[in-house]
Every structure is written in C-alpha cells, then in structure tokens.
Amino acid sequence: MVFSIDFPVSFHNCARMIILDPIDSAEFISSNATHVQIHADGVEKLAHKIKNALCSGSAGVENWKSQELTPSVANEQAVEWIFVTDLLNFSFWTDSHPHYEVSFGGKIYTGYWALCAAVNRAVDEGLSLLDANVYKDISEEQMKYVFRSANGSEIPLLKERWMTLQEAGKTLVDRFNGSFMNVIKLCEKSAKKLLELLCQYFPSFRDNATYKGVQVSILKRAQILVGDLWSCFEGKGFGEFHDIDQITAFADYRVPQVLVHFGVLSYDKHLTEVVRGGEQIENGGDLEVEIRGCTLQAIQLIVRRTKQLLSERAESEVISAPIAATCNAILVDNFIWTYRRNHADVIDKSMPMHKTRCLFY
C-alpha cells in the first residue's frame, strides 16, 4: 500500500509524491537489510512476555491515562495536549552530562517525561500553551523559559522546536479554525487518513527516506500521535479509528535497544561498532533506516504472534475478549518503551541507543 500525499505548494515543490506506508516500508526494508536481522526465537520470547503482561492487566490501554503527566480526562484539552506534546516529541538525548531535566510538582523528569512536565508546568503557570492562537506567536525567549531545566542544561534542538510549534500553530489557525480537533474530524475515523493529513499539512511529521531507490516512511511522531489519541480515548470519540491496526510501532532510539536485548534484532559487526562507539548515524542513511524499518517489522511479527498466543489461551482458559481484540502495535510499543525505562541500566549495557539527531524522533 502507498501513501498518496498532496502537499500544499508552500510546503513542497512537487504537487504529488508516492511513498510506501510504514507497514509496507517495514516489510521492504527488512527484506533488503544487510546490517540488521530479525530473529524468530527472539520474537517468540518477547511475544510470550507481552502476552503475560496483557493478561495480567499491566499493559492495557487504560494504563495510558493512569500515568502521572498524561491527561487523566479524555476531553478537548487532552486532544490539544496530545498534539502539542507529540509535535515536540523528539531528540531528548544529550552528548554529555548533565542530561536535560525538568522539575515539576516536586519531582525531576527526564526525556519525554521532561517535555510533558514542561508543558504541564507552563499551563499551570498560566501560559495557554495548548492554544494554537497563542503558540503560533510564541517567542524564542518564551520557549526557553517554558523548557527551562532544573540543572542548567538546555533541551536539544530548542530553536527547531520553537519553529515547529509556531509553524503548526499558524497552520491550525489558518486552515483548521485554531484546533487540532478539526483535523481529526477530517480523517473520518481512519488512522491512515489522519497520518496522511499530518504529513500533508505539518512538515515536521514527514518522517520519510529513500532506501534502495524506494521512498519509504517511518512516521514515528505521526503514528504515536494517533496511538496517544486511541489510548487516551480508549478507542472511542476522538480516539476511534476503524483501521487502528494500520498503525505500526514508533521507531525511536529506545525501542530498538530493547529488541536487541531480547534477541529480536541483531546488528552486524560494523553497525555494532558504530552504535557502541557512540558515533552519530545519519538520518535517512541505510544504517538508520534499517534499524528503524526492522524495528517496525519486528513489532508487526510480535503483534501477530502475541495475538496467536492470546487466541490459544482463550481456547483453554477464560480471558476477556477485549484483551485478545486490542493487542496491537501501540500496546506492544508502549510495553517495550516502558520496559526500557524500568530496566535502563541493564538495557543500556546490552546495547546502547543509536544516536541520530533529527526532528523525527
């Protein structure tokens, strides 16, 4: 399946571009990869672990709203919060200490949670950071203050975040009456169509590359935005998508680490040396595309096997239908990402994250 994206003239010189969607991109990349391999025994091992987590209730969709910093109520403000945070959800790693940290509510947060804490802190302090009419005109100095750290470090790519936020705000105001909810309404409950709308109107979501002469897409932030809507609204209202299984994993720099740790992925000697040596890998280069594309394909295989395991268990035991029905790449990715947060030292020793500095993840 392909994306057929109509770009506004101001965003792209070409009127039309054909790009493989993330599912087909993953299959194409993994079939041609020379630096990354997927292993069936690792898929089996991790699928069993995820099946157990789903059955115990520790990895269900309801867990999203129970986290400290995510919206606890699925309402219109939650929609705008999800848009703003996923718009800026990229590149939190630093080249050296200290890491970027944010103090909020008496606690210190790092990584993605530092972003969420900074946004929530700004709202608590009276800045309407979830209102496109406000953030379309936000100044660079205001951005510095919003994302001020607890230790004097600066959030990476601050200027790029500022420009991304401003641009998105202007697009919402000019084209969608100032609200991301109006973008969602246009997608007609289709996750795939929402991905296309995000790529069409908001350039920073165009997480694409050319691999072996083929245009492929990973779309980490666009997909996680759809996933967050689905999770927050538990598949209803603004989170209802009839094709939610078209969403794949969110290929960042953390999920591949966990897949290597569990033996789902392996890197060849050259890529291993690059990653362990802390060298930066070019965004869109073969090494990076293979890591991310094989990550997507591996998660697709894990989802498929986990569903089989749940069906087998359902035949011999009583498990709730929703558990078997809602196993998808979103829940699997969330489990893996959370597992890494809870076992950071072990995972980091197993395989460091790959380093790519970009706006896409």
DSSP-derived secondary structure letter, 138: -
Q: Could you tell me if residue 331 is inside a domain?
A: yes
Q: Could you tell me if residue 147 is inside a domain?
A: yes
Q: Could you tell me if residue 289 is inside a domain?
A: yes
Q: Could you tell me if residue 359 is inside a domain?
A: no
**Hey, which bits of 220-321 come out as E strands?**
265-267
Residues with a catalytic annotation lie at: 252
Alpha carbon distance 348, 88 (integer Å): 24
Q: How many domains is the chain built from?
A: 1
Domain enclosing residue 12, as ranges: 2-350
Q: Could you tell me if residue 17 is inside a domain?
A: yes
Q: Could you tell me if residue 360 is inside a domain?
A: no
Provide the residue-wise pLDDT of the chain in tens; the chain has 361 residues. Answer: 554 444 333 323 334 579 999 999 999 999 999 999 999 999 999 999 999 999 888 887 888 888 999 999 999 999 999 999 999 999 999 988 789 999 999 999 999 999 999 999 999 999 999 999 999 999 999 999 999 999 999 999 999 999 999 999 999 999 999 999 999 999 999 999 999 999 999 999 999 999 999 999 999 999 999 999 999 999 999 999 999 999 999 999 999 999 999 999 999 999 999 999 999 999 999 999 999 999 999 999 999 999 999 988 766 665 554 555 579 999 999 999 999 999 999 999 999 999 999 999 9
Q: Could you tell me if residue 185 is inside a domain?
A: yes
Q: Could you tell me if residue 255 is inside a domain?
A: yes
Burial 29-58 (b: 16+ CB within 10 A, else e): bbeebebbbbbeebbbebbebbbebbbeee
Close Cβ partners of 304 (under 8 Å, ≥ 6 residues apart)? none
DSSP-derived secondary structure letter, 272: H
Candidates 290, 295, 215; CA nearest to 260 is 295
